[in-house]
Structure 1
Amino acid sequence: MGSSHRVRVQWDCDGLNLLVSIRDDGQGTLTVHDESLRPIAERVTALDGILSVDATPGWGSSVDVTLPLNPRSDTRPLADGASLTAREYDVLRLVTAGERNQAIALQLGISANTVKFHVSNLLRKLGARTRAELTALALSR
């Protein structure tokens, strides 16, 4: 998180999720797309969790992670052998219906950033370069 002098890590549980909050007093320039967060974001996404970042320039950054205590373990193979999680199927269904990330997030009760990670995983798993190509591939299967 940059040139921080103090970092606060807090753990909690709401009964359904493990909640992790990390705050620093750094430069406040961290974003959810920061390359240093990519490994964390990928793992959080794989567990159907939520990663959010809030930063205030000059005041520091806050990274919040919500991980379900009982993550979905079911995966369903597509015709070509690619396996998708149930959440990826939910996102794919809405992408093929033409929904935008914010609308998908509202319908599924997740953040728009989490939708972006799921779409990114779908593009990679299905070998598509664009949402249109992703939709065409999904509809052809």
Structure 2
Amino acid sequence: MDKFDRAILDALQADASLPIAELAERIGLTATPCWRRVQRLEAQGIIRKRVALLDARKLNLGVTVFVSVRTSHHSADWLKSFHKLVSSVPEVVEFYRMAGQTDYLLKVVVPDIAAYDRVYKRLIQGTDLADVSSSFAMEEIKCTSRLPLDYAD
């Protein structure tokens, strides 16, 4: 990964809709080599996909909940079933398996507390959980999809 690859990634993280000609001009390449680099970065899986970032508040999704889940089940079958359950809930926008006191951490976006309660009930009815703890975000201070590129090899 060289400076051009990093520049491509930086520019696409800011605006994935850039036409190749404009992207190439911004980073100091002509269109064809720039296009080849983008294709290579996609083929390598470094660029996983290009998406539109939506404003949750404008879509009536003003409540963000971080849900800590602990379980006493750690079998492969339970894990598969739990992953399937959580993945089927559209309000869960992020889902992590954790180390430490919490087994799983979910980020949930909903319009209000009542909607979160429906998500909560769906989670606890769908599987056996030892503990579910919810924390409601009061204010979003930083939220970005941009990854730091200083560490890329």
TM-score, with normalisation over the residues of structure 2?
0.29
**Which structure ranks higher in relative contact order (CA pairs < 8 Å, sequence separation ≥ 6)?**
2
TM-score, with normalisation over the residues of structure 1?
0.32
Q: Higher strand share goes to which structure? A: 1
